Amino acid sequence: MAVELKYGMVGGGPGAFIGDAHRKAIAVDGKAKLTAGCFSRNYEKTVACGADLGISKERCYADYKEMAQAEAQREDAIDFVVVVTPNASHYEICKAFLEAGIHVVCDKPVTVELKQAEELERIAKEKSLLFMVTYTYTGHVTAKQARAMIQKGEIGEVRTVLTEYPQGWLAFEDDWGGKQGEWRCDPRQTGRSNALGDVGTHVENMIATMTGLKIKRVLAKMDVVVPGRVLDDNDFVMVEYDNGASGMYWASQIAIGCDNSLRVRIYGSKGTILWFQEDSEKLIYIDADSMIHELHRGYAQIDPSAAKYGRLPSGHTEGWLEAMGNLYSSYVDCIVTMGKGEFDVSMIDFPTVSAGVEGLKFVEACLESSEKGNIWVDIAD
Amino acid sequence: MAVELKYGMVGGGPGAFIGDAHRKAIAVDGKAKLTAGCFSRNYEKTVACGADLGISKERCYADYKEMAQAEAQREDAIDFVVVVTPNASHYEICKAFLEAGIHVVCDKPVTVELKQAEELERIAKEKSLLFMVTYTYTGHVTAKQARAMIQKGEIGEVRTVLTEYPQGWLAFEDDWGGKQGEWRCDPRQTGRSNALGDVGTHVENMIATMTGLKIKRVLAKMDVVVPGRVLDDNDFVMVEYDNGASGMYWASQIAIGCDNSLRVRIYGSKGTILWFQEDSEKLIYIDADSMIHELHRGYAQIDPSAAKYGRLPSGHTEGWLEAMGNLYSSYVDCIVTMGKGEFDVSMIDFPTVSAGVEGLKFVEACLESSEKGNIWVDIAD
Amino acid sequence: MAVELKYGMVGGGPGAFIGDAHRKAIAVDGKAKLTAGCFSRNYEKTVACGADLGISKERCYADYKEMAQAEAQREDAIDFVVVVTPNASHYEICKAFLEAGIHVVCDKPVTVELKQAEELERIAKEKSLLFMVTYTYTGHVTAKQARAMIQKGEIGEVRTVLTEYPQGWLAFEDDWGGKQGEWRCDPRQTGRSNALGDVGTHVENMIATMTGLKIKRVLAKMDVVVPGRVLDDNDFVMVEYDNGASGMYWASQIAIGCDNSLRVRIYGSKGTILWFQEDSEKLIYIDADSMIHELHRGYAQIDPSAAKYGRLPSGHTEGWLEAMGNLYSSYVDCIVTMGKGEFDVSMIDFPTVSAGVEGLKFVEACLESSEKGNIWVDIAD
Amino acid sequence: MAVELKYGMVGGGPGAFIGDAHRKAIAVDGKAKLTAGCFSRNYEKTVACGADLGISKERCYADYKEMAQAEAQREDAIDFVVVVTPNASHYEICKAFLEAGIHVVCDKPVTVELKQAEELERIAKEKSLLFMVTYTYTGHVTAKQARAMIQKGEIGEVRTVLTEYPQGWLAFEDDWGGKQGEWRCDPRQTGRSNALGDVGTHVENMIATMTGLKIKRVLAKMDVVVPGRVLDDNDFVMVEYDNGASGMYWASQIAIGCDNSLRVRIYGSKGTILWFQEDSEKLIYIDADSMIHELHRGYAQIDPSAAKYGRLPSGHTEGWLEAMGNLYSSYVDCIVTMGKGEFDVSMIDFPTVSAGVEGLKFVEACLESSEKGNIWVDIAD
């Protein structure tokens, strides 16, 4: 639990859920310490928040640009920044820190337009900076175990994928889910897609992570169900992968009774993998004889590449914060190793800006498909 | 348990699964007694089988046409015939019995072509004969309860439907599921669709039964996954209903680990209904406050229209045979009532030949959609 | 489905649940046909019921003694009788048929006193008659699979057993579960124990069947929970088996939310078996590596001694009636084989009167333990 | 997430699971900061560990006594100490810090003998110090919800309690669970009970917490199952509460397939509560109509006294660390409030040393019962 790095945060002021969640997730393992921040557009709020968080006033900044420049010049500069502002501002902020030579973590979606994400990807590459996009659920030990088993061929060739991410919190005409619901349903703040962009991209990323397959083309039906809304709240996407397999994705915010039900089902020629985010201490594997095996995080059968992230014995539940903590754990290790000149890209075990780029390609292709009457649209290379 | 009617059977000789299943399902309640049959194309086998089943030799027939005519002329004629032959022969056999004035039960699918089904529907109507098509799963008390709750508006307006029927028995290149697998994969015996026709039609019928919605159009992706096969074994269908709701159906025979997993999820504006065939003693209802309620067959909350079919107290499980028995129970009651001149169509609580017609319309539209590159195809009125 | 035997019934008139359930369970396989009966103490009701059930009037009897004697003398006599009267009358009726040389099936508990059961056991043995006591749940394919796996040593030596049978239907002070509840709570009709005698004996029998272990001694706490009641409605029993293993049984009728929740957990030195009556299409087996395997009725892994009883493919659910039907299936086969002079006791695959005797020993020892302040009481040999 | 307090730790050096777990649990909310420690009996190890954890060398102590005295005299003294050494040393260490006037957190069990615990309880009371014993599972939001519902009478009067805590990690004769297993099976290090003391006390405490009932007497059967072992590894305890209700507890370390399966079932006169540690984001409540309701952490129906501890929306799982974090959250709040002179005992929402005393009374009574042949033994007042 040695503190190895210093980090800053842009966004995450009082009342913001996701910034606090990132701080807690990092705190679990304590490998990095918050030492600078621009938590709000309001400087006084930033200073008050910084005081609460134990940050010296001189490292509370009025402006993210000032922060990027000032920190870059300090001897005890932050090692990385965590960007947890509303989606539309991600691009400018991330760019500023990358240009200042600081590693970046950005909440998903990395940007609201594909071109922006591609530009960030290019800059990070040129500058050899580590850029993580926090697709939290890929951090689960059991999700990594699914990836390991599929890579080792335990379910044979992937044939068909059924994956869904339904939520129910935006099901009601007279209750749009409070402040968060309001901005998510507002195209000016959220971009051109709501449900697909928000939860559908988790589906896309999780399947890419677990299977290694690339999507060749999509056919999407993006519906606006609740009267008065303008952005999609219930989406079906048919998918074709590069290996010829098919997939069906469902993203929804109107499925009453679903909290946050990311559920993965991957059927191969020799077996099946089932994984459910709300029950993420388990992975179900079904072999060719239809025997159902239930693997728990912490069992001896878990692959070392996944098992190493566990903190507690089986049956002592780990959850969402720990999954995000696993992403940060690898991220910090990579930065530390890079500092020692020992870094190698094969060490990366977190979603990078490239995953963010793929997510935007997916959403843009789906939008095109849906707007053109649900036709097949190729995913750009 | 009074025996009220006599029935005959065409098909269902030794080794045939479904004929025996129908006999067992009818026997549970004992309202009808098997008294005639043409169990095989081979007369000697028919006679041997008849002897086993306690049928007099004079009512064991060499030929279904002979049987229809001979029975129609007897004073103690059979009241209805059960047709459980391979799909391609259903049309001719059903027609012969209808023309002889005998009520007909036919296993699903009623015919292999839409026109044939429409013709049978027309004849049955003209002759005022009762024609049941055994979509077995609609017989479950809990399925009827779902129907009752949706009719009463307990989940509000239906918004989106996710329903699937995956099986895994045809997943393997080197094991095509024995004899049954072989004929199901053979277009000459099974028609133009395998998975969609076999299990996909159960999805179509169950949703029609539970929700009362009509499908306006479909967009289908019917895939042949296992090498060497020519008929579909994994199908996705996007659906639009007449009320504007959307649906996603999945039918598969290559989903390793799935036995017979018809699973219904219906999301409405005020709540959600979940029903799973393999756990059919329960119905899950989720209300607008996201409270999950689990209703068991036999509970006081079950609607009388559903509860009346239960035979055993809650926790004393009923299954597939009892579900089919429920269909026969209503069917026999209707015939008996018709004999007394008291019949009314509102008494019908079983799937009729019209449900079979709808199933064929659905399959034919999906085939057209899939062949034309996954475009929307309207369902014929 | 050849009808092979004729049977009679004592009890099971209109309104009686269990008699009708036996008739349905026998009808599923159709190996025996109801041909005589004394369905009520009221002769007119017996005749009316017989007419309903298709029995000739001459074989509707006013009295069970008359029935036993008359049937014994007929050339076309019934092969066995099914006794489904209230518990207190079992002894006299079973005895009459045994003495008339007729095989007997009796609902559980076989008698209300141990001595009576022992006498019936002795007579049946002397006369070489087959006497089945219908512990229905042992008929499930998955229960037989548990037995086969334990016999083969797949869980090693049995170490501890946790088994329970809670129900909730008698939980309420102001609702004693209708007519059935009333007689069950009445010591004159039900004997000295209610919950333990009714559902606790299923626990005792199921564990004896699955494990083959004998109980050496018991320590019971039998409580009367609902005010106004005199017989036990919530019981805990500590058990020691002859191999040194321990067990804990729970029987209850006041566990709100439990329908009929017989649940078996058997922990051995090499693995664990879990079986749940309300989900009896599955058996859970956990191996020494903590891998959880889910076996479904119908899977290739099911032992032939269990698999042979299945009627439908996996995923086409069988239930309570089919489980009881399995007991009758073996019972009829044994009688038929005995008629051919080929019978061997190793063919018996149903609970006999000896299981009934064991049940009464168990209840009597528990009553003694509870009455003496929850001390250990040996089970008589 | 303002850091409000400073804490020290005794024990928790490299390789120790539980010390690290406490640090992570505290770090989640960041309300207290580790600033002093005696992590090992070996001073060099303590210093190395302290360096890793960011503690200045002057606050790394060779000895717990030195630490207690030195810290007590500092102006920036630690506010509380966390004791995570092996059980047998808890008493001396806790006593030293209490006498130095420092608040204490001690891992469960608080001591190995009842008298020691009672002495610590007395000192803490005299000195008005807050003493928490970390029965972690009571920290779950859903466990607090169960407590709130029972207090409000939603299940009526508690009638019978079935609660168990089986594990399987010590099931094997040739694998005693590594180092931790070895000391747990060694009476010199672990005291007179293994399974009951370790996991059985969690059962005792959880039921006391949820129901508020006191145990009047116990009847225990404590078995040593695995050959070669001397301490209990499988225990049954019958319980009688002060309101006349009965309970059955099971504690085990030989139940293959069980990870950490604390499972609570509380049956009342008007309903039932089910809670399972491994699925602790949910609480099952069954009402008098047998309707099963599933409450999720984060739902609007959750009582404010429980809901306030949640950090993430429903479906974003919290786990074991967060549950322990909840205990620390209340503990820190109480100390802070006490510092402001505003403390009131009604604010305590964590298990105190008195809970530890109750646990030792329970274990000692069970040991006496088991040694005397499984007789009833009263719990001391």
Q: What is the 3-state secondary structure (H, E, C) of C46-67?
A: HHHHHHHCCCCHHHECCCHHHH
- How far apart are alpha carbons B13 and B19 in whole angstroms? 7
Instruction: Identify whether the C-beta of residue D110 lies closer than 8 Å to the C-beta of residue D120.
Output: yes
pLDDT at B186 over 90: no
pLDDT at B190 over 90: no
CB–CB contact A296 C289 (8 Å) = no
**C325, closest residue in chain B (CA to CA):** B28
- Give the residue-averaged pLDDT of A255-276: 98
* C-beta neighbour count of B63 within 10 angstroms: 15
The closest CB to that of B219, out of A259, A271, A374, belongs to A374
Task: Work out whether strand D131-133 and strand D234-241 pair parallel, antiparallel, or are unpaired.
Answer: unpaired
Percent above pLDDT 90 for chain B: 89
Mean pLDDT (chain B) is: 95
Note the pLDDT of residue B263: 98
pLDDT at D46 over 80: yes
Chains that touch A (3 or more CB pairs under 8 A): B, C, D
- What token pair was written down for B332? 């026999």
Which positions ≥6 away from A136 have C-beta within 8 Å?
A: A320, A323, A324, A327
Chains that touch C (3 or more CB pairs under 8 A): A, B, D
Task: Tell me which amino acid residue B249 is.
Answer: Y
CB–CB contact B376 A376 (8 Å) = no
- How far apart are alpha carbons C18 and C85 in whole angstroms? 9
Over the stretch C275-309, which tens digit does the pLDDT of each residue have? 999 999 999 999 999 888 899 999 999 999 999 99
For A217-253, the DSSP string reads EEEEEEE--STT--S-SEEEEEEEETTS-EEEEEEES
**Inter-chain contacts counted by CB atoms under 8 A, chains A and C:** 29
pLDDT band, residue D176 (cuts 50/70/90): confident
- CB contacts, 8 Å: D274 with chain B: none
Instruction: Identify whether the C-beta of residue B293 lies closer than 8 Å to the C-beta of residue D292.
Output: yes
CB–CB contact A312 D320 (8 Å) = yes
- How far apart are alpha carbons D211 and D199 in whole angstroms? 19
**B274, closest residue in chain A (CA to CA):** A257
pLDDT band, residue D14 (cuts 50/70/90): confident
Burial classification of residue D152, based on how many CB atoms lie within 10 Å of its CB (0-12 exposed, 13-18 middle, 19 or more buried): exposed
pLDDT at A2 over 90: no
For A199-217, the DSSP string reads IIHHHHHHHHHHH---EEE
The closest CB to that of A315, out of D29, D260, D312, belongs to D260
Note the pLDDT of residue D181: 82
Note the pLDDT of residue D150: 98
Task: Tell me which amino acid residue D164 is.
Answer: E
pLDDT at A177 over 90: no
The closest CB to that of B317, out of C296, C315, C320, belongs to C320
The closest CB to that of B374, out of A219, A250, A271, belongs to A219
The closest CB to that of B319, out of C258, C296, C318, belongs to C318
pLDDT at B17 over 60: yes
- CB contacts, 8 Å: C314 with chain B: 259-260
CB–CB contact A294 C296 (8 Å) = no
- What token pair was written down for C229? 């009641």
CB–CB contact C254 D223 (8 Å) = no
- Quick one: CA dihedral D122, D123, D125, D129, positive or negative? negative
First to last CA, chain C: 41
**A252, closest residue in chain B (CA to CA):** B160
Interface test with C, best of A281, A283, A289, A292 (most C CBs within 10 A): A292
What is the Cα D334 distance to its own chain's centre?
18
Note the pLDDT of residue D124: 98
Note the pLDDT of residue A199: 96
Determine the distance in angstroms separating the CA of A282 from the nearest CA of chain D, rounded to an integer: 11
For C220-280, the DSSP string reads EEEE--STT--S-SEEEEEEEETTS-EEEEEEES--TT-SS--EEEEEESS-EEEEEGGGT
Mean pLDDT (chain D) is: 95
Percent above pLDDT 70 for chain B: 99
What's the order of all strands across the beta sheet hosting A5-11?
A: A32-38, A5-11, A80-84, A103-106, A131-133
Over the stretch B39-56, which tens digit does the pLDDT of each residue have? 999 999 999 999 999 999
Instruction: Identify whether the C-beta of residue A81 lies closer than 8 Å to the C-beta of residue A7.
Output: yes
Task: Tell me which amino acid residue C223 is.
Answer: D
Query: Which among D381, D324, D338, D278 is positioned nearest to D23, based on CA atoms?
Result: D324
Token look-up 């007119």 returns: C44
Task: Tell me which amino acid residue D162 is.
Answer: L
pLDDT band, residue C17 (cuts 50/70/90): confident
Token look-up 């059962």 returns: D203
CB–CB contact B315 C30 (8 Å) = no
- CB contacts, 8 Å: C296 with chain A: 290
- How far apart are alpha carbons B202 and C94 in whole angstroms? 48
Note the pLDDT of residue C196: 97
Task: Work out whether strand D282-286 and strand D272-276 pair parallel, antiparallel, or are unpaired.
Answer: antiparallel
Which positions ≥6 away from A58 have C-beta within 8 Å?
A: none
Indicate the SS3 state at residue C172.
strand
pLDDT at B211 over 70: yes
Interface test with A, best of B240, B243, B256, B273 (most A CBs within 10 A): B256
Determine the distance in angstroms separating the CA of C292 from the nearest CA of chain A, rounded to an integer: 5
A332 Rama class: left (phi>0) / alpha (psi -120 to 50) / beta: alpha
Bond into A109 cis (ω within 30): yes
CB–CB contact C24 B29 (8 Å) = yes
| Residues making up chain C, counted from first to last | 381
Determine the distance in angstroms separating the CA of B292 from the nearest CA of chain D, rounded to an integer: 5
Chains that touch B (3 or more CB pairs under 8 A): A, C, D
Note the pLDDT of residue A183: 78
CB–CB contact C301 A294 (8 Å) = no
CB–CB contact D30 A24 (8 Å) = yes
Which positions ≥6 away from D194 have C-beta within 8 Å?
A: D184, D185, D231, D232, D233, D253
- Give the residue-averaged pLDDT of D157-171: 97
Instruction: Identify whether the C-beta of residue D332 lies closer than 8 Å to the C-beta of residue D103.
Output: no
Over the stretch A51-98, which tens digit does the pLDDT of each residue have? 999 999 999 999 999 999 999 999 999 999 999 998 889 999 999 999
Cα–Cα separations (whole angstroms), residue D214 to B314, C205, D101, D135, D241 = 35, 35, 31, 17, 6
pLDDT band, residue D174 (cuts 50/70/90): confident
**A290, closest residue in chain C (CA to CA):** C299
Interface residues on D facing C, Cβ-Cβ cutoff 8 A: 155, 159-160, 162, 164, 168, 171-173, 219, 221, 223, 225, 234, 236, 238, 246, 248, 250, 252, 254-257, 259, 267-272, 274, 286-288, 290, 292, 373-376
Position with higher pLDDT, A189 vs B29: B29
Over the stretch A105-115, which tens digit does the pLDDT of each residue have? 999 999 999 99
- How far apart are alpha carbons C346 and A94 in whole angstroms? 78
- CB contacts, 8 Å: C167 with chain B: 315
- How far apart are alpha carbons B250 and C266 in whole angstroms? 38
CB–CB contact A288 B374 (8 Å) = no
- How far apart are alpha carbons A351 and A359 in whole angstroms? 11
B374 Rama class: left (phi>0) / alpha (psi -120 to 50) / beta: left
Note the pLDDT of residue C349: 98
- What token pair was written down for A34? 């918050």
Which positions ≥6 away from A276 have C-beta within 8 Å?
A: A261, A262, A263, A264, A282
Mean pLDDT (chain C) is: 95
Burial C357-369 (b: 16+ CB within 10 A, else e): bbbbbbbbbbbeb
- What token pair was written down for B126? 């003209």
Indicate the SS3 state at residue B347.
helix
pLDDT band, residue C182 (cuts 50/70/90): confident
Interface residues on D facing A, Cβ-Cβ cutoff 8 A: 1-3, 17, 20-21, 23-24, 27-30, 51-54, 167, 258-261, 277-281, 296, 298, 311-322
Over the stretch B225-254, which tens digit does the pLDDT of each residue have? 999 999 999 999 999 999 999 999 999 999
The angle formed by the CA atoms of residues D34, D38 and D40, to the nearest 5 degrees, is: 125
Query: Which among A279, C306, A214, A157 is positioned nearest to B256, based on CA atoms?
Result: A157
Task: Work out whether strand B80-84 and strand B5-11 pair parallel, antiparallel, or are unpaired.
Answer: parallel
Instruction: Identify whether the C-beta of residue D355 lies closer than 8 Å to the C-beta of residue D138.
Output: no
| Residues making up chain A, counted from first to last | 381
- CB contacts, 8 Å: D259 with chain A: 296, 298, 313-315
- Give the residue-averaged pLDDT of B281-310: 94
Among A5-9, A125-129, C1-5, C87-91, name the one with the lowest average pLDDT.
C1-5
The closest CB to that of B267, out of A172, A248, A255, belongs to A255
What is the Cα B364 distance to its own chain's centre?
18
pTM to 2 decimals? 0.96
pLDDT at C1 over 70: no
Instruction: Identify whether the C-beta of residue D248 lies closer than 8 Å to the C-beta of residue D239.
Output: yes
Please tell me the number of Cα atoms within 13 Å of B91 on its side-chain side. Answer: 14
Query: Which among B147, B143, B141 is positioned nearest to B326, based on CA atoms?
Result: B141
pLDDT band, residue D184 (cuts 50/70/90): confident
- How far apart are alpha carbons D202 and D107 in whole angstroms? 12
Over the stretch C106-134, which tens digit does the pLDDT of each residue have? 999 999 999 999 999 999 999 999 999 99
Rg (chain A; Cα; Å) = 21
Chains that touch D (3 or more CB pairs under 8 A): A, B, C
Indicate the SS3 state at residue A308.
coil
Note the pLDDT of residue A292: 87
